[in-house]
A and B are shown apart, each in its own frame.
Chain A
Amino acid sequence: MTTTYTVTIANRDGATYEVTSRRPLLNALLDQGVDLPYGCTYGGCITCAAKLIEGSVDQRKQVALNNRQIDNGYVILCVARATSDITLEVGVESHDTLYRNPFLDPLKPHELKADIAAPKEA
């Protein structure tokens, strides 16, 4: 069952686009003329990361983000699909909390990637 959702890009003057739940957001937006960075196109390299401001996506195929980056709202557009109407910030302007110096700002055990993260202590 294909559903259509509206994507609002907050840092492109609130431009809106219609996408379906079947296609990754990157392809759906590129096809409509949105200029977006990307690299590997399989969810592994983080180049296309965007920040989800509102709404929800299914990005189970991504393998690039650690749990802190996910908590900070990052989504990997090349594999993420909308599951509601969403608002995004895109491009490197949205990467303010994507990158960190690990010697300055270590991850806590539960903030590592999902496959090795320790459960968060209550």
Chain B
Amino acid sequence: MADCCGPGYASPQEAIAAPSEKLLYTIAIYTGTGIQKPDYLATVDVDPESPTYSQVIHRLEMPGIGDELHHMGWNACSSCHDDSSMARKYLILPGVRSNNLHIVDTATDPRAPRLHKVIDGAEIKARANLSGPHTVHCLGSEIIISFLGDAKGEAPGGYLQLDKDFNIVGRWENSMGEIKFGYDFWYQPRHNIMVSSEWAAPNTFMPGFDLEEVGHLKYGRELHFWDFEKREPVESFYLGEDGLLPLEVKFHHDPDSTHGFCGAALSTNVIHWWKGDDGKWQWEKVIDVENEMHPEWPIPLPGVMSAILISMDDKYLYLNNWLHGDMRQYDISDPHNPKLTGQVFMGGLLGKAPQVNGVEVAGGPQMFQLSLDGKRLYVTTSLFSTWDNQFYPEIREKGGVMVQIDCDPVNGGMKINPDFIVDFGKEPNGPSRCHEARYPGGDCTSDIWL
């Protein structure tokens, strides 16, 4: 990277050509596990040449217990590439339950991140009336974070804006319009568009998943299109039964593209949207994972597609079926007609892969992060403490695992790397559970180009 430049890369193509990742950060939780220790940020050695390859080499504990670390995001990404005063130095770790925002310095010593600052959850409630933080994105030199509830945990919440020094600016959005719920969001500045999705109110999803509440409209089923500059929603798509629990939102990395995707977790469908030649936004269902019958259960089992990811070259979409137990790779060269090109099982409730590389997998494929070159997919198994406890109670004793899948970015295909597995069941303080992962140099689920 030239000295002249700010963080990230000039383009997705430049990102793909970057050196391979050597370190990876993942959050690990004790919240809800019965172990009275703080959640932490784990540094995992992913350099195959290193003697500590496939091991946790550092743990940064949060100051208190009960945060439930979950997702995280950078203070700066490729959207600041032209700003030499900016650096990708800080990772922001929200606590979904505590409302605290932990600002972690990963640059001073990338192997051993250190806590820089904590923004107190009570202050966020008092000043912005928000709780239940989820997705962190930077926009230029500022940061916005989706919160799923107000201070009392009621939907729809809103967006908190921080300045580059992590001071609370206030609410980012000018209006939530008619939006009922919040969750994930992604923006595509060249088209002045942001898309947001819907999970549920914190008071609904935090205690666990009552499937019966879906029919009572306690969970989301809409996607929202925002005028990004005006900071207000301008159009919503009702997805109906095809879009129950629309969670992760991803645009193509190509900043000129209008194509984007959302995984509807409970329907276990992928929704695709794009801007038509007439200038209007349109949507369609492009992937539909069929429910499976469990031999002993009365209700058909959905895959529960809690995450999706698009490779940096925009050629492949990856998705998980947390309850079925498989990770899938689809070729989305034609975004209207995805083609299944790879599939592997790891855990799940159907008993298709109870062990991976000698480790018993409690849980199923959950969060994942892809290398910039598209060849290595790192997958973790825990969703959210209360939901884990419902579907995979054995995770309390076994903990989470991180698996690495080798992906073929040319011809398609997936295969579990036999030399890599991180067993969070063997952590020094007892079994913990890993969730989202990021690399120090940027990754496939953070960087946006202006």
* Contact surface of A with B, Cβ cutoff 8 Å: 35, 37-40, 42, 44-47, 63-66, 91-93, 95, 98-104, 106-107, 109, 112-113, 116
B209: CB under 8 A from chain A? yes
B51-72: contact bitstring with A at CB < 8 Å (1 yes, 0 no)?
Answer: 0000000000000011110000
B216-250: contact bitstring with A at CB < 8 Å (1 yes, 0 no)?
Answer: 10100000000000000000000000000000000
* Contact status of A37 and B98, CB under 8 A, knowing A102-B210, A102-B212: no
CB neighbours of B67 from chain A (8 A):
39
Q: How far is the CA of A64 from the CA of B299 in the complex (A)?
A: 24
Q: How far is the CA of A116 from the CA of B152 in the complex (A)?
A: 19
B187-210: contact bitstring with A at CB < 8 Å (1 yes, 0 no)?
Answer: 000000000000000110011111
Nearest residue (CB) in A for B68 is A39
Q: A40-B131, A116-B216 are known contacts; what are 17 more A-B pairs with Cβ within 8 Å?
A: A37-B31, A39-B97, A40-B99, A40-B153, A42-B153, A46-B206, A47-B32, A66-B207, A91-B34, A92-B33, A98-B389, A100-B390, A102-B212, A104-B294, A106-B211, A106-B299, A116-B218
Cross-chain contact A99 with B386 (CB below 8 angstroms): yes
Interface positions of B from 119 to 140, Cβ below 8 Å from A? 131
B295-320: contact bitstring with A at CB < 8 Å (1 yes, 0 no)?
Answer: 01111110000000000000000000
Q: How far is the CA of A51 from the CA of B70 in the complex (A)?
A: 27
* Contact status of A39 and B66, CB under 8 A, knowing A46-B386, A65-B207, A112-B210: yes
Q: How far is the CA of A106 from the CA of B212 in the complex (A)?
A: 7
B43: CB under 8 A from chain A? no
Cross-chain contact A44 with B206 (CB below 8 angstroms): yes
Q: In which size bucket is the chain B interface?
A: 35 or more
Nearest residue (CB) in A for B64 is A38
Cross-chain contact B153 with A63 (CB below 8 angstroms): yes
Nearest residue (CB) in B for A76 is B207
Cross-chain contact A39 with B31 (CB below 8 angstroms): yes
Cross-chain contact B36 with A99 (CB below 8 angstroms): no
Which of A42, A46, A107 contacts B212, CB < 8 Å? A107
- The contact sample of 23 A-B pairs, CB cut-off 8 A, is A37-B34, A37-B65, A38-B66, A39-B97, A39-B98, A44-B153, A44-B203, A45-B202, A45-B206, A46-B206, A46-B208, A47-B385, A64-B203, A66-B210, A95-B389, A98-B389, A101-B297, A102-B209, A102-B210, A103-B297, A103-B300, A104-B298, A106-B298
Interface centre among A38, A40, A47 (most CB of B within 10 A): A40
Cross-chain contact A104 with B297 (CB below 8 angstroms): yes
* Contact status of A37 and B36, CB under 8 A, knowing A45-B202, A63-B203, A99-B386: yes
Cross-chain contact B294 with A113 (CB below 8 angstroms): no
Interface centre among B131, B208, B294, B296 (most CB of A within 10 A): B208
* Contact surface of B with A, Cβ cutoff 8 Å: 31-34, 36, 65-68, 97-99, 131, 152-153, 202-203, 206-213, 216, 218, 294, 296-301, 323, 385-386, 389-391, 393, 396
CB neighbours of A39 from chain B (8 A):
31-32, 66-68, 97-98, 206
6 tightest CB-CB pairs across the interface, nearest first? A39-B97, A92-B34, A102-B211, A46-B207, A64-B207, A45-B206
CB neighbours of A91 from chain B (8 A):
34
Task: Determine how close the nearest CB of chain A comes to the CB of B174; give it in whole angstroms.
Answer: 27
Which of B207, B391, B393 contacts A44, CB < 8 Å? B207
Task: Determine how close the nearest CB of chain A comes to the CB of B237; give it in whole angstroms.
Answer: 25
Nearest residue (CB) in A for B32 is A47
Q: How far is the CA of A42 from the CA of B99 in the complex (A)?
A: 12
Cross-chain contact A112 with B212 (CB below 8 angstroms): yes
Cross-chain contact B202 with A44 (CB below 8 angstroms): yes
Q: How far is the CA of A87 from the CA of B347 in the complex (A)?
A: 39
CB neighbours of A101 from chain B (8 A):
297, 390-391
Task: Determine how close the nearest CB of chain B comes to the CB of A5; give it in whole angstroms.
Answer: 25
Task: Determine how close the nearest CB of chain B comes to the CB of A9; give it in whole angstroms.
Answer: 15
CB neighbours of A45 from chain B (8 A):
97, 153, 202, 206-207, 386
Task: Determine how close the nearest CB of chain B comes to the CB of A102; give it in whole angstroms.
Answer: 4
Cross-chain contact B294 with A103 (CB below 8 angstroms): yes
Nearest residue (CB) in B for A36 is B36
Nearest residue (CB) in B for A63 is B203
Task: Determine how close the nearest CB of chain B comes to the CB of A4; give it in whole angstroms.
Answer: 27
CB neighbours of A64 from chain B (8 A):
203, 206-207
Q: How far is the CA of A103 from the CA of B294 in the complex (A)?
A: 9
* Contact status of A99 and B390, CB under 8 A, knowing A38-B66, A64-B203: yes
CB neighbours of B213 from chain A (8 A):
112-113, 116
Cross-chain contact B152 with A42 (CB below 8 angstroms): yes
CB neighbours of B68 from chain A (8 A):
39, 47
Which of B33, B210, B390, B393 contacts A113, CB < 8 Å? B210
Cross-chain contact A99 with B66 (CB below 8 angstroms): no
Cross-chain contact B36 with A35 (CB below 8 angstroms): yes
CB neighbours of B208 from chain A (8 A):
46, 99
Task: Determine how close the nearest CB of chain B comes to the CB of A46; give it in whole angstroms.
Answer: 4
